[in-house]
Amino acid sequence: MPPMLDVSDEVRAEIGDEEADRLLTGESAPGGYDCTSCRTPGDPRQERTSTVLFIGDETAVLAFAHATCLPSQVVKVTEEQLQGAVKSIAGDTADPEPQQAVLGVTSGLVLISGELHPALVVEPTAPIARPGTTTTGDDFLPLLVEQGFLPVPDLSAVPPVLHGWSVLLAMGQLHAVLQPSPSGGRPVAWWQAHHPLQVTDGWRAAAGKHQQVLMFAAPVGSIGRQPREDLLREALDRAAAGGRLVAAALPLAGT
Ligand SMILES: [Zn+2]
């Protein structure tokens, strides 16, 4: 039986028909892999698997993810991030260099106190080390708490507004999460979409109504890519209960 691999058109365009077909027939498909999104093992003979092509400035790396975690896609990264991704895909934990992580951002509506709020859920693809350190720990949540995000014990209340931060929506698409500039000038991008992220009409309507977006952040491995909003909510509840979730309400920038 051929492996259950998804090769999207954009991935096919990059790797070529020949390599795409070799993957699809199983000739060059992996026997097993660690999902590039949730980091748990996967097997393309047992479950649908997405090919994810990371493209740096000079090199590219083909990785695999559970189809429920990520759709097959091309992800453009810096050469530095790519080297980090290669290291983490290869499972090289002996290297003391901190990994460069990519931030995964998912949009969804979250029900709090009987009302739907537009939310962004941010989860890195690897542990985030404090800049300038070489520890292997994950400082993602402590770093955000230092910026004013608050730990969320449960999703019973809307988190407070974090002034200075904002979410940039333009033409109904999500472009960036902005944070205050360290030098006091214009806000700078904390996260910027490689391609503007399409949001649903419901999400856009809720964002327009509330004029703010709730941003939830969790360390790598906490949420995963959830295909449905009820599953996203369950994952958020689990992360909150486990003390692995911080949040803030960010005002909208743009329209
Ligand atoms: Zn996965």
How remote is the CA of residue 139 from the centroid of ligand 1, in Å?
22
Residue 133 structure tokens? 């350190």
Give pLDDT, residue 134.
Answer: 65
Rounded to an integer, what distance in angstroms lies between the CA atom of residue 124 and that of residue 224?
10
Rounded to an integer, what distance in angstroms lies between the CA atom of residue 155 and that of residue 238?
10
How remote is the CA of residue 162 from the centroid of ligand 1, in Å?
31
How does the average pLDDT of the chain come out, rounded? 84
How remote is the CA of residue 49 from the centroid of ligand 1, in Å?
9
How remote is the CA of residue 210 from the centroid of ligand 1, in Å?
33
Question: pLDDT tens digit string along 168-214?
Answer: 887 778 888 998 887 777 788 888 887 778 888 899 999 999 999 99
Rounded to an integer, what distance in angstroms lies between the CA atom of residue 148 and that of residue 179?
11
Instruction: Give how far the C-alpha of residue 72 lies from the chain's centroid of Cα atoms, to the nearest Å.
Output: 14
* Eight-class DSSP state of 21: H
Give pLDDT, residue 129.
Answer: 77
Question: pLDDT tens digit string along 129-176?
Answer: 777 766 667 889 999 999 999 999 999 999 999 998 999 887 778 888
How remote is the CA of residue 69 from the centroid of ligand 1, in Å?
5
Rounded to an integer, what distance in angstroms lies between the CA atom of residue 128 and that of residue 191?
14
Query: Bridge partners of 122?
Result: 105, 217
